[in-house]
Amino acid sequence: MPTATQTIEQLANRQYRYGFVTDIEAESVPAGLNEDIIRLISAKKREPEWLLEWRLKSYRHWLTMEEPKWANVHYPPIDFQSIVYYSAPKQKKDRPKSIDEVDPKLLETYKKLGIPLHEQAALAGVAVDAVFDSVSVATTFKEKLASLGIIFCSFSEAVREHPELVRKYLGSVVPYSDNFYATLNSAVFSDGSFVYVPKGVRCPMELSTYFRINAASTGQFERTLIVADEGAYVSYLEGCTAPMRDENQLHAAVVELVALDNATIKYSTIQNWYPGDEEGRGGIYNFVTKRGKCQGKNSHISWTQVETGSAITWKYPSCILIGDNSVGEFYSVALTNHRQQADTGTKMIHIGKNTRSTIVSKGISAGFGQNTYRGMVKINAGAEKARNFTQCDSLLLGDKCGAHTFPYIEVKNSTARMEHEASTSKIGEDQIFYCNQRGISTEDAVNMIVNGFCRQVFKELPMEFAVEAQKLLAVSLEGSVG
């Protein structure tokens, strides 16, 4: 008979349900990266001159940079010349005017992923921007939102229709020179979502972007920019999946959030990129820069992430708390199984007075998975009475996985208050047996314990997605009970 530990390990054998490939004709640029490729991407998107210049400036800077090596992750060197930087499904018309003109194959793909794009069938209360490889293929509820003055569209469209807003905020939170992957993104980014919520408007529905990588050897470099003007509120969610392939694919995104006076942005991520197989073959390298700027007084930015996919995750959704009384939050569940590696956490930079931040990080490791929390809390000299609360918990399933915690704390103001709590626990055979003895199967017991462990984070997700996240975690730990 297998021991409970073996059973837990079997349970951790995930089945990836989104690994199919859509057979669709694509229009790609040749593999490799040089100024001509960047000009080509920019031309394909018919971008204004200033944006091309920005891209080229980024690219030239990138050439002087080195890949960061400090993260607690290990992978062979990436050949940046073998990546295809732009791939888009071929469309008959220049750009579909309505959902009816979108290639049915694409609609079918999103339907299979559980994201119906026809508005009649669409998730009630959720507007979706669907990004397929390098382009946005459809955005739902756009007109309805526009009637409130809310702009929700693909990044390319924003560049065409609202250049003044894009120009004002692009790179204002993550500068083009920020870091190796963000700079690469600035040079080659293809599409993504743009959101602007005007003064005093509370966005009545969840906005979401669903990212799908389909084409082989292609990297996805999207860019998301969300601006909440004074007193505005918006809740935004992103989801991601990719086909199963043996080679690794690079996903290097940039997300910038700007919250003005009294504005609130809630940003949630359910990341389920292909994690690779049991031996660690294939899977997405998810190297992402996400940062929010609480620019105004009493502004509020909250990051919630459920990270179950990707071969390697490297991301630190952060908040720069400039406005007095502004609030930054980070709630995270990161699961690593098999050979997955995650180095994730946050940075909270306190600049304004009475700024507050909360960090709750839950890491779950199974199989040979390695899970690292890396976080920085920085209190600047002017941040009178700043407060931070940090809680990092790790849960281990089995005895071959690892959990690591690297908290950095830098305080330059003596009125600051900092709290840090950390714990590591293991699902013990005795706990499983106790549940078994009460009639609960090992599979249900593990799911129950894992969900209990994550509850604090799940309750931060929009209701529609909390259930989704729970299911995703269950699937990620699904397997045969021996």
Partner 1 sequence: MLEIRNLHANVDGHEILRGVNLTVKAGEVHSIMGPNGSGKSTLAQVLAGNETYEVTEGEVLLNGRNLLELAPEARAAEGVFLAFQYPVEIPGITGSYFLRQALNSVRRYRGEEELDAVDFLKMIRERLKLVQMDDRLLNRSVNEGFSGGEKKRNEILQMAVLEPRLAILDETDSGLDIDALRIVADGVNRLRSPERAMIVVTHYQRLLNYIVPDFVHVLVNGRIVRSGGKELALELEEKGYTWVEKESARAELAGAR
Of these, 435, 461, 469, 473, which contacts partner 1 (CB under 8 A)? Answer: 435
Name the residue nearer to partner 1 (CB basis): 265 or 435.
435
Residues linked to residue 144 through DSSP beta bridges, in sequence order = none
Let me know: does 139 contact 480? Beta carbons within 8 Å: no
Residues touching partner 1: how many (CB under 8 A)? Answer: 26
Question: Does position 334 bind partner 1 by CB under 8 A?
Answer: no
Question: Does position 448 bind partner 1 by CB under 8 A?
Answer: yes
Name the residue nearer to partner 1 (CB basis): 72 or 431.
431
- Angle, helices 180-188 vs 35-44, to 10°: value is 50
Question: Does position 384 bind partner 1 by CB under 8 A?
Answer: no
Of these, 27, 444, 464, 478, which contacts partner 1 (CB under 8 A)? Answer: 444
Name the residue nearer to partner 1 (CB basis): 230 or 429.
429
Element (H, E) at 166: helix 163-169
Name the residue nearer to partner 1 (CB basis): 197 or 397.
397
In 184-299, which ranges are E strands? 193-197, 206-212, 223-228, 233-241, 248-251, 254-259, 264-271, 283-294
- Angle, helices 4-11 vs 442-458, to 10°: value is 60
Question: Does position 414 bind partner 1 by CB under 8 A?
Answer: no
| Segment interacting with partner 1 (CB under 8 A) among 83-91, 157-165, 405-413, 432-440 | 432-440
In 219-369, which ranges are E strands? 223-228, 233-241, 248-251, 254-259, 264-271, 283-294, 300-307, 312-315, 318-321, 327-336, 341-350, 356-365
Of these, 441, 459, 463, 467, which contacts partner 1 (CB under 8 A)? Answer: 441
Question: Does position 440 bind partner 1 by CB under 8 A?
Answer: yes
Question: How many whole angstroms separate alpha carbon 458 and alpha carbon 452?
Answer: 10
Smallest distance, partner 1 to C-beta of residue 463, A: 18
Contact set for partner 1, span 238-297 (CB under 8 A): none
Residues linked to residue 302 through DSSP beta bridges, in sequence order = 266, 329
Other C-beta atoms lying within 10 Å of the C-beta of residue 471:
11
Contact set for partner 1, span 144-183 (CB under 8 A): none
Smallest distance, partner 1 to C-beta of residue 278, A: 25
SS3 breakdown of the chain: % helix, strand, coil, rounded to 5? 25, 35, 40
Contact set for partner 1, span 1-20 (CB under 8 A): 1-4
Smallest distance, partner 1 to C-beta of residue 113, A: 30
Question: Does position 413 bind partner 1 by CB under 8 A?
Answer: no
Question: How many whole angstroms separate alpha carbon 265 and alpha carbon 344?
Answer: 21
List contacts with partner 1 (CB under 8 A): 1-4, 425, 428-431, 433-442, 444, 448-449, 451-453, 455
